[in-house]
Structure 1
């Protein structure tokens, strides 16, 4: 009888697992609405399946349906209050909800979000994402409702003990947010030296751009390109060159390389590269080439307002 029972339940288990896998695959493809429908049906049939509830919450979160995400993550927290990741996701949904409402309503929600993050940090001393959330939360909150640079640095130090790269990036973020660009630059450079990921380079590039230091930005992007060999970085160099009217020949070459080697994985449509080329030729006073490339940009993406505005500028040369 025992084996007959196992034979009967195995198909149900296999079916359940297949729905979980299907939803995970849809989420990976960013087909969040389809994943939501799969998981609504699944959770209705399996109301106590925590993995199903979590995935349903994830589908809502990806679609910014914060109330629904909060409801599902709250079920997880109530059912398994000792799981740090459940508190982290619950806190994250609450935090995003707070950003979508007026400041008066946000105050109470932020308090619950902070409590959830602190609980996650307490439950799991190695939970990196929770500590990142606390770094950002304490920096972004006004002091009157609990914001604190010193507390933010406390969790940045905890991150550094867990992962030097994350710790350096967190400190770079703190000092950049607090308008201390020299210290931010120091820690972003330490992150590059320690880890050297594209994310590390991107943080430093963004800092340089925000500080109106395009030469440093281009040099940093070039260093990232030399190391990672990503076509997308050719566009980034061209963008900075076009925006700041510097290193125009280098920017032109990089944008042509980007277009020549373009694939969907590069992220930025070719139309934007043509737009940047039009800007570069405008800076070079080459109206014919500038019009050629702005027309290519508009042909590909006719509804982009900056493209149309740029064409008017070029026509007036």
Structure 2
């Protein structure tokens, strides 16, 4: 009897799983509103499905509907308090809400944020994202609200025990935030040596840009390109050259290479490469060339304000 019952239920179970897979696909495609509508409808007939509740929270979060996301993640904790990831997502939604409200209102939420992240860390000794959240939280909080560099470093050390790359990047972040650039640079370089990922190179590149050292930023991007051979890095070199008015010939050449090899996977629309070329030609006092490229940028993305502002600057040459 039980066997026949399982056979009867299996198509419905499979259908439910299929529906949730479709929601996950919509989230990956950044169709967040559609994912929200789809999973909300699904939950009308499956109100206790934890995966569906989580996906609805995710859909809300991607749309910055923090209060709605908080409600869904809180439900998950109520159903399964032992799940570290539920506490992590709940804490993350609370933290994002803190950033969107006044400091006075935020005071009443900070404690809940810390409690959620600490609970997640306690439940899962290997939860890397939670430890990253704690590193950033304790660095960004004022001392009067519990901010602490030593606590940040404590969780950075826990990260290092789990993943040397994450630990080095976390320590680089702590020291950069605390205005200790030499130590920050050391740890970002250690992360590159250990992991050699695009993320590691990007952290060091952005550090150099923040430190107003564009030459070193370009050197780092070039090293990343030698390792990973990604067309997007040509754009990054051109961007730094245009923004800082350095190595203009190299920047121009890289932007042309980016445009010649462009694909949607590169991420940055071609219009932005034309915008950077306009900046470079403006630095060179080539008014006509600068106008040519800024017109191309505006034709492709007519609503981008920096493009219009750049055109006014070029016309003023």
Q: Deviation string for 1:107-155 (max 9, x for gaps)?
A: 1211101001101111111110000000000001110011000000000
Residue 122 of structure 1: aligned partner: 122
Residue 187 of structure 1: aligned partner: 187
Write the distance in 2 (CA, Å) between the matches of 1:195 and 1:107. Answer: 38
Residue 298 of structure 2: aligned partner: 298
Write the distance in 2 (CA, Å) between the matches of 1:186 and 1:212. Answer: 17
2:302 alignment partner, SS class: coil
1:279 shift after superposition: 1.4
The worse-fitting range, judged by mean Cα deviation, of 152-161 and 10-19 is: 10-19
Alignment root-mean-square deviation, CA:
1.1
Query: Mind listing any 5+ residue stretches in structure 1 that lack a counterpart?
Result: none
Write the distance in 1 (CA, Å) between the matches of 2:218 and 2:61. Answer: 35
1:302 shift after superposition: 1.9
Q: How do 1:101-120 residues align onto structure 2 when only pairs under 5 Å count?
A: 101-120=101-120
Residue 8 of structure 1: aligned partner: 8
Residue 286 of structure 1: aligned partner: 286
**Quick check: 1:230 aligned with 2:230?**
yes
Q: How many residues align?
A: 317
Write the distance in 1 (CA, Å) between the matches of 2:309 and 2:53. Answer: 48
Residue 173 of structure 1: aligned partner: 173
The worse-fitting range, judged by mean Cα deviation, of 127-136 and 5-14 is: 5-14
Write the distance in 1 (CA, Å) between the matches of 2:306 and 2:120. Answer: 44
Query: Mind listing any 5+ residue stretches in structure 2 that lack a counterpart?
Result: none
Write the distance in 1 (CA, Å) between the matches of 2:217 and 2:291. Answer: 28
Q: After the TM superposition, which segments of 4 or more aligned residues of structure 1 sit over 3 Å from their partners?
A: none
**Quick check: 1:315 aligned with 2:315?**
yes
Write the distance in 1 (CA, Å) between the matches of 2:310 and 2:28. Answer: 37
1:2 shift after superposition: 2.4
1:288 shift after superposition: 2.0
Residue 62 of structure 1: aligned partner: 62
Residue 203 of structure 1: aligned partner: 203
1:309 shift after superposition: 2.2
Q: Deviation string for 1:200-258 (max 9, x for gaps)?
A: 11111111111110100000011111111111110110011111111111101000001
Write the distance in 2 (CA, Å) between the matches of 1:311 and 1:100. Answer: 33
